[in-house]
Amino acid sequence: MPSTNSSADTNVIVKPPLLAVLDSGAGGLPYLSYIHRHRPYGRYLYLADTEGFPYGSKSEEELIDLVSRRISCLQSRFNPDMVLIACNTASVVALSALRKRFSFPFVGVVPAVKPAAIKSKVRKIGLIATAETVVSSYTDNLIADFASDCMVIRYAGQELVEFVEHHFTSTTLAQRLEAVKPACRFFKAEGVDQLVLGCTHFIHLKDEFQSLLGPGIDVVDSVDGVGREVLRRLEDFNRGNTGNMQTDFSIYTTSETGSSSYAEFATFYGAGYAGVLTCP
């Protein structure tokens, strides 16, 4: 009886599922970095929508249309197996519409209000997010569902989104600390003991927030939770021996704006900057 494990079989290159990640800019890179570290043999495509940046200041109708067109572009060019919408605002506003329109699975990100509420001892939580996320009904419902016994202090940090997107890779630590100082001063004065980073761009500044806030305030994000969920769902695509899997980690932008910064981001995260993806 012939062996089912021939040498020819062991040399077959298995193509793993393609995970596409969409964000308005660099905010989703910590999520994909987490996933890539825990599953280095995968195929990962990151699209920074630099042409559509920023998402947080757009109306719901504008954002749903824009994100739908970006996903259509990814579908026609790459046909991903799964998509992570690595933007709190886009997830809050557009995820439901995307799931109705496209057949592949989506994972979104939302502000980590639930874990912050679980950990809070003084029942006062800070939430820093984009202008849209801070006032959205989704955020209201999130707080009602998971932090109804907490006072949630909200702060729109739109200028920090711009700072991370356009200046993060070229700034010093002192400049980054100065950028987060007004928000930290605000939340310390309010007496919170948890600060939720409700925009993924802010995760790049997590250490700076924690440094200025001090040990009495925990800085909370959703990277671990979302990362574990994506990894779990990728296991549904079992395509053979991971030792022979094709691997790739590429970053695209939708415009030339900030391309040098994205080349630096790619180097930092162990990816390759693949250039501009032209989307209608």
61's tokens: 């109708």
What Å distances lie between residue 109 and 12, 224, 229, CA to CA? 36, 11, 11
| Active-site annotation holder among 87, 150, 184, 279 | 87
| DSSP per position, 34-92 | HHHHH-TTSEEEEEE-TTT--STTS-HHHHHHHHHHHHHHHHHHH--SEEEE--HHHHH
- Residue 232 identity (one-letter amino acid): R
Q: For this structure, is 73 an active site residue?
A: no
93's tokens: 């506003």
Helices and strands per DSSP (H, E), number in the chain: 12, 10
Q: Reduced to 3 DSSP states, what percent helix, strand and coil does the chain have, rounded to the nearest 5?
A: 50, 20, 30
| Active-site annotation holder among 73, 150, 184, 199 | 199
Q: For this structure, is 184 an active site residue?
A: no
- The stretches of 83-125 forming alpha helices (DSSP H) are 88-101, 113-119
Can you name the residues that pair with 123 across neighbouring β-strands? none
Which residues does the annotation mark as catalytic? 87, 199
